[in-house]
Structure 1
Amino acid sequence: MTDRGRDALRTTTDSLRIGPSQMQWTGSELRIDINEIASPPLVSRIRGRIVLTPRAITEVELPLTEDGAHVWRPFAPVSRIRVDLDAPGWQFSGHGYFDANFGTRPLEHDFSYWTWGRFPTKAGAACFYDAIRRDGTSLEAALTFDTKGQSRTVAAPPRTAFRRSNWLLRRETRADPGTMPRQVKAMLDAPFYNRAVVETVIAGETVQGVHEALDLDRYASKVLKPMLAVRVPRRRGWPG
């Protein structure tokens, strides 16, 4: 993917275009058209469409800091997704979600570490957001969502550490006492960030969902941060 300048941005009430890629809300589904170039070492063109169909849209906005400088917005935590990319084996459909983070300050200024997980359940989905803030406080958020978009704050099972990533990044998530989470599918592995499909047990139900761990001390490193320019190229603008 590519970081682009302001000239590459186009927005309307129901669409967002950045360079050659765009997202459009039709009123019932989110259509994401991708036309990008993958980062090294597997440099290749990535084209295709992703269609996300929410079961419902939530009204939840979760402040991640006391002053609201960072907010998590789970727009559609219970959805269906269809992926159709122009490459063999990159077509599938299944359970999906759509969320976003918003902020007015760099993440590394306010957080040192966080984990997040969203797990499909028989009733809908469960989400866990745990973060260590720079001011010494912590965030421990546990919410469930039903298929109508209704949310409920619940008591979370204990934080449970499981196998570190290939970059030895610390990972933990919520799990019933006596059970051990485990990675079942690798998704993205970087020195400061890991995303994977993780299996755990929540309220007696075995679930598999997307999990991420983010070490912002590593991210802020003067050695590591410049390396991102190699993985994520930058372009000032976009013609048209």
Structure 2
Amino acid sequence: MIAFIGSVFSPWYRWSGRADPEDNICINVVTYGRGGRWAMTDRGRAALRQTGDSFTVGPSSLRWEGGRLIIALDEVSTPHAQRLRGRITVTPSAITDVEVPLTDDGAHVWRPFAPVADISVEIDRPGWTWDGHGYLDANFGTRALEADFDYWTWGRFPTPEGAVAFYDAVRRDGSTLGVALRFDRDGGCEAIGAPPLQRFRRSNWLVRRETRCDAGQAPRQVKAMLDAPFYNRCAVETVIDGHRTTGVYEALDLNRFRGPWLMPMLAVRVPRRKGWRFADA
């Protein structure tokens, strides 16, 4: 799931001229596998409430409580119009102070808050309750993604000590970004020598995919997740420092996203709900 202020993939936000991020807010929830559902409702300013430790968008919310992030969900999927209700609890092993500029002028910043975390998921549908390992990060920006980037990939992969994360991008000016970080369970972080970028099979929408993998090995998709004309998310198996690991990976083609032809397609999957009234308002 992703919580947005200024919903960067929303056609409504682009069509508004991106003048008011707080008038295009969203909590995007996606479940995978049989019966998987998608919810991404773009909401207006009336649906937003913020405090120092909570963020509420209409019927759903995120709040910090005793060192845990509690996410309460109450969304409607598109196009099935089914309710997605439940609770997700993210318990970080530590919170890092790492902040990575993605452009030289700091217009885009990546914050891996909790690269190592436990997660508990309780969704009110049979079989949709589980515990596992999780991850929490954030991206901040003062310009549109497609204004500064042509393409990027990101991946987070568990290791015996914690996790590694890779951020690779091609900027609009032709320069490249290559970030490779190792995190331990206490929040420690160190830059590492990244293994080579290696391509693997394109997505069903033919989005190019490549990730870091030890020389002589080959990355591969082991679970399909989200496939769109400009974006792909999947579980990828790779080998890092001799350790075989499976993590979440994404590839984003901003050249495709830049095209105006895509926005009407996205509007079908991202409904707009401008108004909202809180029960105590």
User: What corresponds to 2:77 in structure 1?
Assistant: 38
**2:164 counterpart of 1:126:** yes
Cα deviation per residue 1:161-209 (whole Å; 9 max; x = unaligned)?
0011111111000000111111111111111001111000000000000
Structure 2: distance between partners of 1:165 and 1:228: 18
Cα deviation per residue 1:126-176 (whole Å; 9 max; x = unaligned)?
000000000111100000000000100000000000011111111000000
Cα deviation per residue 1:195-233 (whole Å; 9 max; x = unaligned)?
111000000000000000000111111111221111011
Structure 2: distance between partners of 1:38 and 1:158: 39
The one of 51, 61, 69 aligned to 1:12: 51
User: What corresponds to 2:217 in structure 1?
Assistant: 179
Structure 2: distance between partners of 1:235 and 1:143: 39
Q: Which amino acid aligns with 2:271?
A: P
Structure 1 residue 43: Cα displacement: 2.9
**2:150 counterpart of 1:112:** yes
Which segments of 5 or more consecutive residues in structure 2 lack a partner in the other structure? 1-39
TM-score by length of 1: 0.98
User: What corresponds to 1:28 in structure 2?
Assistant: 67
User: What corresponds to 1:67 in structure 2?
Assistant: 105
Q: Which amino acid aligns with 1:115?
A: T
Structure 2: distance between partners of 1:164 and 1:56: 35
Structure 2: distance between partners of 1:8 and 1:142: 37
**2:238 counterpart of 1:238:** no
User: What corresponds to 1:226 in structure 2?
Assistant: 264
Structure 2: distance between partners of 1:97 and 1:205: 20
User: What corresponds to 1:154 in structure 2?
Assistant: 192
Cα deviation per residue 1:19-43 (whole Å; 9 max; x = unaligned)?
1000010131000001001112x33
Structure 1 residue 55: Cα displacement: 0.1
Q: Which amino acid aligns with 1:11?
A: Q
Percent of aligned pairs with the same amino acid: 64
What is the correspondence of 1:48-63 to structure 2 with a 5 Å cutoff?
A: 48-63=86-101
Q: Which amino acid aligns with 1:234?
A: R
Structure 2: distance between partners of 1:74 and 1:27: 20
Structure 1: distance between partners of 2:147 and 2:75: 30
Q: Which amino acid aligns with 2:209?
A: R
Runs of 4+ in 1 over 6 A off after TM superposition: none
TM-score by length of 2: 0.84
Q: Secondary structure at the match of 2:137?
A: strand
Count of matched residue pairs: 239
Structure 2: distance between partners of 1:211 and 1:133: 19
User: What corresponds to 1:212 in structure 2?
Assistant: 250
Q: Secondary structure at the match of 1:66?
A: coil
**2:208 counterpart of 1:170:** yes
Which segments of 5 or more consecutive residues in structure 1 lack a partner in the other structure? none
